[in-house]
A and B are shown apart, each in its own frame.
Chain A
């Protein structure tokens, strides 16, 4: 039996343990890396999941992958779907309250053909970061891709129109036929019954927009046949085919002030409408007429001393009836309210809100000074009427009133109908006169006058009375002979010389007068001495005996 060889146990630890350690470190690093680079999980709601595939559809920002759709689930109320998206960590700054998501698929529309690459690669979700500071992880996706990036420089405006929609999203916005922007969306405002176009005008052309520009529709071809012949108006070929909006400053308009984002403009159906009513700011007033308004049609002019300043909007008959029912008013004699509008731009004021304010104040003051509205005949043939504003000096001061939320301007009745009213009023008064009684008294007076005249005649026919003229003549002749006597004639001359002498005397230029003056002075000094003596005697009677000097000692 040989000795059992020594089996060494070896080292406690060998270098081989570095290998699992390295593996462990690598594994830990991988876990840490994954954790560190893990982005947020966001949820985006869409109406449909069209084009979205879990695990495949990516989220892109400027064509850089920012995340992947992990799951597509149906919302709780079955009305929306929710795409659960795992975002990359670097996408974190993109996610805020205003961030918008939309699905990009191949799209052929007004804005051109886009997203062709998605035919092969499948749809992807585009992300447009917002500028808000509020972070968010849940979003509602857009159904339609926005035509303009959120951060694109330019200006976003709102056009309101009442006509039929012929301009749609993607249609161009032109300036002198050059495309400077596009229509982004078209919605219908149920409340105002207006079409609402959101348009975007790219920088630097947004500087062309100011408060005095007007927008009009240049869709299709406009053909006008009139007394001046035919006229055809078109925009660019693109706008003929798909519609468009153009804008310009109407002639004779001052350049307005720059406008803010989301400023509302009216979209006019055609250019001629702008020339007719190019003003954007207007104030509505109600004028109530206590007379027939036959011939007063909508769009009838409202004039100030013959200058057009606005137009008639409508007759507020319904409001009147409603108010009557509500107030339980008497069913007759209520003036008919007519809604008119007045545009400050027509007073050569700038077409701004400030002018509107100025106009309101002017009217308020004006009404106190006799500004009144009246109905005037505009056309004698057709009987068309218009509303005239003017100052009436003999009107009482009044205040602006209120009718169903509108400001009312007091009215007066003038013109033909005014005349008619005045005459009828006169006749009414004449009717009321006590003519029978008056005629009776007149008859009586006439009778009395008659008898008086008769009596007068009797007196006049008396003979004594007839001699009076002859006697009077004799008397006058005697008087004349007296006056023509020489002595009498000299009287004025003598009187004159006497008066001159008296004047001479009184002026003190004769010796007699001088002497008289001296005498009077002496008498005066004598009187003074006598008064002094009498005073002394009264105070010191002993002076009479002792003398004045002794007394003083």
Chain B
């Protein structure tokens, strides 16, 4: 057993989720804060997978339904995410369009795909590229929250633009769905225990030795 694979688990120690105290994995409550202690996050893969599926389902209406309804005196206008991007490109605001496209389309879909891949890789005991996977996890967790940009834009517009009779902006079904996607993927990322990836490394080393 090499030193770099020496882990707390291998030494029979578990970290408290709340206060990060290392204690023996044999005791199930943290001696410092009294929280439940587990070696690894319980049902991590299952929870992550369930949440990812939820996010995928929510992602469909988020893109098909209008995210923003603009009521003017000439009638209501419905804008979908992609419709908004297309409109912005047509209007010449390519950078803004790119921001919205990346934040609202690329990032959530990429994150969902990445998380699926990670869950799959852990489940199927893939031992290759664990460094890249770790990096992938870090990126996914980091940029995931930026997807909320779109939701925030809608929320701000709804709050600000409320000129009764002239111009009223209402959130559409997609806004709720999209917020759901972002939140659920964030929770999914949170539930995903990256140590499970590295455990495979130990197992690999174990099987080698």
Q: Spell out A's residues near B (CB within 8 Å).
A: 1-5, 7, 10-11, 13-14, 16-17, 19-20, 22-24, 27, 30, 56, 58, 120-122
**Contact: A58 with B61, CB < 8 Å?**
no
B56 to chain A, nearest CB (A): 8
Within the complex, which residue of A1, A20, A120, A122 is in contact with B54, where a contact is CB–CB below 8 Å?
Answer: A20
CB distance from A437 to the nearest CB of B (A): 113
A3→B75 CA distance, assembly (Å)? 71
Given contacts A5-B12, A16-B51, A20-B50, contact A27 B25 (CB under 8 A): no
B74 A121 Cβ-Cβ under 8 A? yes
Give the residues in chain A near B96, CB-CB below 8 Å: none
B132 within 8 A of A: no
| Contacting residues, chain B, for A14 (C-beta < 8 A) | 43, 46-47, 50
Q: Mark B109-142, 1 if CB is under 8 A from A, else 0.
A: 0000000000000000000000000000000000
Kindly identify, within residues 171 to 204 of chain B, every residue whose CB is under 8 Å from any CB belonging to chain A.
173, 180, 184, 199
- 28 pairs of residues in contact across A and B, judged by CB atoms under 8 Å: A2-B10, A2-B12, A3-B12, A4-B9, A4-B10, A5-B10, A5-B14, A7-B9, A10-B42, A10-B43, A11-B43, A13-B46, A14-B46, A14-B47, A16-B43, A16-B51, A19-B184, A20-B57, A22-B54, A27-B58, A30-B173, A56-B74, A56-B77, A120-B73, A120-B74, A121-B73, A121-B74, A122-B74
Give per-residue flags for B1-29: 1 if the beta carbon is below 8 A from chain A beta carbons, else 0: 10000000111101000000000010000
Bound state CA distance, A508 and B98, in angstroms? 169
Most chain-A CB neighbours within 10 Å: which of B40, B46, B173, B206?
B46
**In the bound complex, what is the Cα–Cα distance between A17 and B52 (angstroms)?**
10
B38 nearest in chain A by CB position = A8
Asked whether any CB of chain A lies closer than 8 Å to the CB of B39, the reply is yes
B184: nearest chain-A partner, CB-CB: A19
Is the CB–CB distance between B12 and A16 below 8 Å? Answer: no
Query: Size class of B's contact patch?
Result: 20 to 34
Interface residues of B (CB under 8 A from A): 1, 9-12, 14, 25, 39-40, 42-43, 46-47, 50-51, 53-54, 57-58, 60-61, 73-75, 77, 173, 180, 184, 199, 206
Taken together as a complex, chains A and B put the C-alpha atoms of A370 and B141 apart, in Å, by 117
- How many angstroms between the C-alpha atoms of A17 and B47 in the bound complex? 7
CB B40 to nearest CB in A, in angstroms, measures: 7
**In the complex, are the beta carbons of A122 and B43 less than 8 A apart?**
no
A310 to B50: give the CA distance in the assembly, Å: 97
Q: Given the complex, which residues of B lie within 8 Å of A122, measured CB to CB?
A: 74-75
A17 — which chain B residues lie within 8 A by C-beta?
46, 50
Hey, which chain B residues are within 8 Å of A2, CB to CB? 10-12
On whether the beta carbons of A23 and B57 are closer than 8 Å, the reply is: yes
Residues of B within 8 A of A5 (CB): 9-10, 12, 14, 25, 39
Q: How far apart sit A13 and B10, CA to CA, in the bound complex (Å)? A: 27
Which chain A residues lie closer than 8 Å to B58 at the CB level?
23, 27
Pick the contact of B47 from A3, A16, A23 — CB < 8 Å? A16
Task: Check A16–B61 contact: CB distance below 8 A.
Answer: no
Q: Are B46 and A10 in contact (CB-based, < 8 A)?
A: yes
7 extra interface residue pairs, beta carbon distance < 8 Å, beyond A7-B40, A10-B46, A27-B58: A5-B10, A5-B25, A14-B47, A24-B57, A27-B60, A27-B61, A30-B61
Cα-based distance from A251 to B2 in the complex (angstroms): 125
Distance, CA A215 to CA B43, complexed state (A): 91
How many cross-chain pairs have Cβ atoms below 8 Å apart between A and B? Answer: 68
**Those 3 A-B pairs whose CB atoms lie nearest each other, nearest first:** A20-B53, A20-B54, A23-B57
Minimum distance in angstroms from B202 CB to a CB of chain A: 8
In the complex, the answer to whether B73 meets A16 with C-beta atoms within 8 Å is no
Residue from the list B11, B54, B199 in contact with A23, Cβ < 8 A: B54
B61: chain A residues at CB < 8 Å are: 27, 30
Chain A residues near B50: list those with CB within 8 A: 14, 16-17, 19-20
- Given A7-B199, A10-B43, the answer on whether A20 and B75 have CB atoms closer than 8 Å is no
Complex Cα gap A58–B61 (Å): 24
In the complex, the answer to whether A56 meets B75 with C-beta atoms within 8 Å is yes
CA–CA, A490 and B182, complex, Å = 176
Residues of A within 8 A of B74 (CB): 56, 120-122
Cα A200 to Cα B205 in complex, Å, equals 97
Shortest distance from the beta carbon of A120 to any chain B beta carbon, whole Å: 5
Point out the residues of chain B lying under 8 angstroms from A3, CB to CB.
Answer: 12
B173 to chain A: which residues have CB within 8 Å? 30
Task: Tell me the complex Cα distance, A27–B55, Å.
Answer: 12
A-side contacts of B9, CB under 8 Å: 4-5, 7
* A3 CA / B9 CA spacing, docked (Å): 10
B14, B43, B51, B73 interface centre (most CB from chain A within 10 Å): B43
Question: B51 contacts which of A11, A13, A19 (Cβ < 8 Å)?
Answer: A19
Shortest Cβ gap from A295 to chain B (Å) = 73
Which single residue of chain B is at the shortest CB-CB distance from A117?
B73
Task: Give Cα A424–Cα B47 distance, bound, in whole angstroms.
Answer: 130
* Docked complex Cα distance between A23 and B180 (Å): 10
A1 to B3 Cα, complex, angstroms: 12
| Distance A1 CA – B9 CA, assembled complex (angstroms) | 12
Bound CA span A22–B180, Å: 12
Minimum CB–CB distance for B206 against chain A, Å = 8
- Chain A residue at minimal CB-CB distance from B1: A1
A505 to B91: give the CA distance in the assembly, Å.
Answer: 164
Give the residue name and chain of the B residue nearest to A13 (CB). B46
Taken together as a complex, chains A and B put the C-alpha atoms of A20 and B54 apart, in Å, by 4
